[in-house]
Structure 1
Amino acid sequence: MRAHVDQDTCIGCGLCISSVPEVFEMNADGKAEAIADGPDDAVKSAIDACPVSAIRED
């Protein structure tokens, strides 16, 4: 599953990165971004865990 991180909403807490590092990384602006597809359950878990709902399924 592909994820998308809304850069205007992301607060850079890093929760998604710590839970699914193969899918998310921090960019130069200190915000998370999706860099790869990942397992559906892992991406959905990151979507549900995001404290500001910045991640969506793409």
Structure 2
Amino acid sequence: MKEYKIVRSETSWKNNTQNFEDLLNTYARQGWEVKDVDLVGGSASAFIALLEKSK
């Protein structure tokens, strides 16, 4: 059985890609895998990632 999580990171475009990478790596250490990433909101105001792991 799979478990899913959606994580969101607001964009500031200065250092946010590194912050988002750090966030995803934190979840990866807990066993989560990134299944999809998208930019959402007006002018792409946030990164959204769909994570998956086995229960």
Q: Give me the TM-score of the superposition, normalised by structure 2.
A: 0.30
Q: Which has the higher strand share?
A: 2
Q: Give me the TM-score of the superposition, normalised by structure 1.
A: 0.30
